[in-house]
Amino acid sequence: MKSILACLVLALMPLVSEADPTTIEAAAYGVDPAAPDNTAALRSAVAACHKAGSDVRLILPEGTLRFDATSLESPKRVVQFKGIKGLEIIGNDTTVLLTGNPTYVTNFYFEDCADTVVKGIVFDCEYPMCAQGIIKRFDADGLIEIEIDPKYPLIEGLPIESIIDGDPQTGLMLANIDLYKVAIVSTETPEPNLLVVNFKLHMDANDPNRKREMQEIETVLPGHSVVLRQFSYGGYTLEYDKCDGITVEDVTIYAVAGMGVKSALSSDHILRRLTIAPRKDSGVLISAVKDGVHFTHAIGKVIVEDCYFDAIGDDAINVYSKYRNVSKITDNSSIEMIFDRNRGWQGPTPLSGETLNFWEKDSMQPIGSAQVVNANWNPNTKKFRVRFSGKLPEGLKPGDWINSSRYVPSFEIRDSYFRGMLGRAIVISTGNVVVENCDIIGTCYTGMLLTSGARHERQGPSPRNVRIANNRFSNTGGAAIYGYVFVPDPGTDAMNNITITGNTITEDPRMAKMRLKARRPDWMHWYAGICLTSTSDLTVSDNSFSGYEIPVFLENIKNLTLTDNNSDTPSLAVLNRTVGDVTVSDNENLTVESDEKDYHWDLGYIGIMR
């Protein structure tokens, strides 16, 4: 009888469903488009989110919400979200506008949050991210005269961080000069809207090629547009630290004095219909002063879909972790590990159960791996002590490279548009990568960079299992696709299993003439369409090239398939030091040159920098 009654009670109980999220209307806390500064009001709404704790939806009101950047205390964050699980921040035709100097300001900061969604918000700054003008005179002995556009004046009281030339017709940056502040000796304004810059080069100052380039461009640079950046390495629009499950959707960033979306030690990123670009028809030549998207030590997956990047001050997207090095082998199952740089964060302390991979220091050839039992960081010696569950790989020695399998996210980019990066469109230092159906136009340097090693803050790991398919590259300053590993003698297994297929790679003669790379035709990372080195199991097939004398340059390759590519004019495919299984067939207008000619492919910059 009791069991029958229990069944009846259960049958009469309502079905239990997941609770709806707690909805918090920011307007109820005083957030108002009419207010000159909404910082305090929005912080009150965020406090209510923290009180709710989880499953929270914060709704921002329609209109332009102003936030006074100059009044923010350090760290200069408009709002901070910490420890919230299940957080949605939803805009309603909402613009978040920073007024005043936005240097080192972060709009929304997230720490230890999970399942976070930011959707339907426009972010902008009152200040344009650069001054702009036209080069009137360039003197190779160290003088530039610039006519400043009064629509985009210099901001009084801020130093000039860098000066970059561009094409006034297309609005694309050229970076024949990318003059850093360390080279700027003095500036003066002898009359309104006229800036005179005196500079002195330090990098390659005695290089005869550099001197010749400077003299040649004396007649080229006058008439070029110019960008004068006064913000550098500033804050972030969205910053994530140790967060799990990040979605940014239908978000537009018109201006940020640093990076657009930045994350560290966070997992499972989805960017969908993210736009980082100046306002249409505004004439502004810079949107994000530094990288558009910058993910370090990401975990799990990174997915980028249907996004739009234009006029980014460095790279549009960079996904990587950091190599460390073996400092000392203390016994057969433990080491001391060091981040071998004089600056920068040393990286995360390895976790118990984490797998560390080891790579030979001079060649970046794989050595083996081991599983961590425990690890600790000593801030005095600036070294990690790491103990493993078994013996260390045979042949491991001090100086060898180390990366963690934990921080090798899969990386997928589809149906996205990249234009006018001062750096590169996509930087790849991870594994299991797909880049499909994207447009990459007018980057100052290479369109897509596959890299690891001793440069770029010890960026790694080396790319493996990469598919680059059905993309369209146009007028990239360097090679459309460039892959290299920066170690003294990179081996053929430094990168592995790379497929480049079905891409269209085009160089417009007018744009090529405006750039200095034609003056260094032996520098393949600038001059070729594809420049790839130190790779095993490489396929280059079904690609179309236009405007290149050397569409394909490959060196130090093991197991190569080069088939069914075509060029618009008779041209060269240069294969240096290819070994293993090599298949070359059915390439149209591509004559294969296989010799030991001394081409230069290791990263070097063309132009005047510092």
Please write the tens of the pLDDT for every residue from 170-187: 999 998 888 888 889 999
- Residue 200's pLDDT is 84
Residue from 398, 408, 463, 468 nearest 437 by CA? 468
| pLDDT tens, residue by residue, 274-305 | 999 999 989 999 999 999 999 999 999 999 99
Choice between 365 and 522, residue whose per-residue pLDDT is larger: 365
Q: How confident is the model at residue 9 (pLDDT cuts 50, 70, 90)?
A: very low
**Residue 455, pLDDT above cutoff 80:** no
Residue in the structure block whose two tokens are 């569950």: 389
Mean pLDDT of 254-259: 95
pLDDT in tens, 490-520: 999 999 999 999 999 999 988 888 887 777 7
| Token output for 357 | 């991979």
Q: How far is CA 95 from CA 39, 66, 126, 352, in A?
A: 14, 8, 12, 44
CB 146 within 8 A of CB 228: yes
Which residue from 285, 202, 239 is spatially nearest to 111, judged by alpha carbons?
Answer: 239
What pLDDT, on a 0 to 100 scale, did the predictor assign at position 210? 67
Average pLDDT of the chain to the nearest whole number: 91
Digit-coded pLDDT (tens) for 317-372? 999 999 999 999 999 999 999 987 656 788 999 999 999 999 999 999 999 999 99
State the average pLDDT over residues 519-530. 86
**Residue 513 phi/psi, 5° resolution?**
-65, -30
Q: What is the pLDDT confidence band of residue 158, given thresholds at 50, 70 and 90?
A: confident
Tokens of 149: 């556009």
Average pLDDT over residues 435-450: 96
Pair of tokens at residue 326:
């073996």
Q: Which residue matches tokens 């600790």?
A: 376
Number of other CB atoms surrounding residue 578 within 10 Å: 19
Mean per-residue pLDDT for 565-581? 95
CA 372 to chain centre: 30
pLDDT level of residue 431 (50, 70, 90 thresholds): very high
Distance CA(588)–CA(299), nearest Å, equals 42
Going 273 to 279 to 281 to 285, the CA torsion angle's sign is: negative
Question: CA 237, CA 259: separation in Å to the nearest integer?
Answer: 7
Statement: the pTM of the whole predicted model exceeds 0.85: yes
Report the residue count for the chain: 610
Is beta strand 114-125 parallel, antiparallel or unpaired with respect to 552-563? unpaired
Residues 126-135, mean pLDDT to the nearest whole number: 91
- Greater confidence (256 vs 15) lies with 256
| Whole-number pLDDT of residue 14 | 36
Alpha-carbon distance values, 220 to 135, 518, 521, 547 (Å):
10, 13, 19, 21
